[in-house]
Structure 1
Amino acid sequence: MYQTDPPLSPSETMPTMYDLPSEDPEEPGLPDEFHDFQPQLLRETCQPPNYPKEEMFIGTDLNLYYDSHHLLWHKRPDWFLVLGVTPAQQQQDLRWSYVVWQEGRVPFLVVELLSPGTEAEDLGQTLRSANKPPTKWQAYEQYMRIPYYVVFDRYQNQLRVFQLIVTQYHEAELSEPKFWIPELELGLGVWQGKYQETEGLWLRWYDGAGNWIETSKEHAQQEHQRAEQERQRAEQESQRAEQESQRAEQERQRAEQESQRAEQESQRAEQERQRAEQESQRAKRLAEKLRTLGINPDDL
């Protein structure tokens, strides 16, 4: 018999999620869990007061075709918003991609979620190769001329906003990780909280008062809390009304008792008056009898 080394545990022999990322090495940036959750939060909270939902199209990880002279040129933003375009009303009309020359409108705003594999491309640090399509930055800035380009780095808690001025993107100076977009009457900011049961830093929309726009779940929770508070207030009011009713009944009973006592006192007083009257009459009769006998009652 001979002894061998004990077998390694699976954690020592099998690759982890960091060894097997979801990204295709030939096409970086394919969705991981964060790239799934974060666009959902942006979609849920994008509720501009001056644009109804039927006048907005939101794309998530959808191929964006932008040059009618080069039909296969496309980018795939993590999230983008188009104003003045109607979303699909029927399932069979759901878009397979967004084609600018067919829709007639370019995106108003694009959001890219920074990851190590796409950082240089997202921030315009890569150069266009010969005989290759334009870079993402060039496509957004020069071809589509998208008014707002937002880049969010959750690892560094950094929000960067680039605004198209004339023909070039200029980075906005942010004193805090928030940026107001007047055309939408909404702002984008970094929020610390729990979404999809996951605590972390999230990009979401806020309103003119600085309040974070609620998700449908948060709205339902708020409605439930308000309903519960209303129920408790109604219960308290009912209890107070019952207590007032009981106090009123007690007051009525006390008043009734006082009335009965007063009536009894009145009866006793009447009885005393009658007794006094009877005693007076007896005294008069006795005095008269004494006088008939020749006795002056006053001398007694």
Structure 2
Amino acid sequence: MYQTDPPLSPKETLPTMYDLPSEYPEDSGLPDEFHLFQPQLLRETFCPPNYPAEEVFVANDLNLYYDLRHTLWYKRPDWFAAVGVSRLYEQQNLRLSYVIWQEGVAPFVVVELLSPGTEKEDLGQTLREINQPPTKWEVYERILRVPYYIVFDRYTDKLQVFQLVADSYSELDLSTSRAWMPGLELGLGLWQGSYQGIERLWLRWYDASGNWLPTPLEKLERESQRANRLAAQLRELGVNPDDL
């Protein structure tokens, strides 16, 4: 009897991120300032304590390829995070896109920032057209089975959080404008404050104690304030901190 080689896996036979385009000419234009700043704030404050930094991947406005039968189909979330996956593609390269059959790990959370042209699709209020790719809602809920899908409307400051329960999304009650995610040991909520010099409500991550996670700039400011207080205490004791 002849011995045959085992069949190749999709990862070995289907296009990789190097083969798939990172963008298409027909895609919409550059996002507005909010679509630039809000994902940046989410990235800067996303630090799940139960995952090392090298096993956390965060992206915004990056092609997400999801169907191994239709390798050119993709969605482009405003922001998403995957955990338990290498920060770098195959632990060596920055990603051009996120290809599910190559990564093997779906996003844990996806955030869409509503705009008038995408509102109905973002909220699952559009139907799939014949011979067309599935809608965002269908992809996140039924194909990728993303545990948490977040939708935020900056015009009304309305935050909606959908959690995957069994086979479908269930909207969480956000009486406090916060949603805790046990699998991340983090929560996401609405924070009133100034970011990039803009005072408004922003989406921001918080820890198990309910404290908003600081940005790198805020960490530096806190360290500077702590150093200044220590220097002042030393001077009160007659010690010049510059001589230490």
Fold-level similarity (TM above 0.5):
yes
The amino acid across from 1:156 in the alignment is T
The SS at the match of 1:235 is helix
Deviation at 1:234, TM superposition (A): 1.3
Deviation at 1:209, TM superposition (A): 1.0
* Contact preservation (8 Å) 1:67, 1:73: yes
CA RMSD across the alignment:
2.1
Listed one character per residue, the Cα deviations across residues 256-297 of structure 1 (whole Å, up to 9, x for unaligned) are: xxxxxxxxxxxxxxxxxxxxxxxxxxxxxxxxxxxxxxxxxx
Deviation at 1:65, TM superposition (A): 0.2
1: CA distance, partners of 2:39 / 2:166: 29
Given the superposition, is the C-alpha separation of residues 89 and 68 from structure 1 closer, same or farther in structure 2, using an over 3 Å criterion? Answer: closer
Deviation at 1:238, TM superposition (A): 2.1
Deviation at 1:88, TM superposition (A): 2.2
The SS at the match of 2:238 is helix
Listed one character per residue, the Cα deviations across residues 153-204 of structure 1 (whole Å, up to 9, x for unaligned) are: 1221111100011100000011121111111111001111111122111101
Q: Report which stretch shifted further, 225-234 or 29-38.
A: 29-38
Which residue does 1:172 correspond to in 2? Answer: 172
Deviation at 1:29, TM superposition (A): 7.5
Deviation at 1:237, TM superposition (A): 2.3
Question: TM-score, with normalisation over the residues of structure 2?
Answer: 0.84
Deviation at 1:89, TM superposition (A): 8.2
Which residue does 2:84 correspond to in 1? Answer: 84
The amino acid across from 1:93 in the alignment is N
Question: TM-score, with normalisation over the residues of structure 1?
Answer: 0.69
Give the alignment of 1:1-300 within 5 angstroms.
Answer: 27-28=27-28, 30-88=30-88, 93-238=93-238
1: CA distance, partners of 2:204 / 2:144: 24
User: Identity of counterpart residues, as a percentage?
Assistant: 60
Provide structure 2 residue ranges, at least 5 long, that are not aligned to the other structure: 1-23, 240-244
Q: Which entry has the higher C-alpha Rg, 1 or 2?
A: 1
2: CA distance, partners of 1:142 / 1:126: 15
Listed one character per residue, the Cα deviations across residues 231-255 of structure 1 (whole Å, up to 9, x for unaligned) are: 111112228xxxxxxxxxxxxxxxx
Where in structure 1 do 4 or more consecutive aligned residues deviate above 2 Å?
Answer: 26-30, 88-92
The amino acid across from 1:184 in the alignment is L
1: CA distance, partners of 2:148 / 2:92: 31
2: CA distance, partners of 1:109 / 1:89: 19
Provide structure 1 residue ranges, at least 5 long, that are not aligned to the other structure: 1-23, 240-300
Q: How many residues align?
A: 216
The amino acid across from 1:188 in the alignment is L
Q: Which has the higher contact order (CA 8 A, sep 6+)?
A: 2
The SS at the match of 2:175 is coil
The amino acid across from 2:160 in the alignment is R
The amino acid across from 2:110 in the alignment is V
The SS at the match of 1:102 is helix
* Contact preservation (8 Å) 2:89, 2:95: no
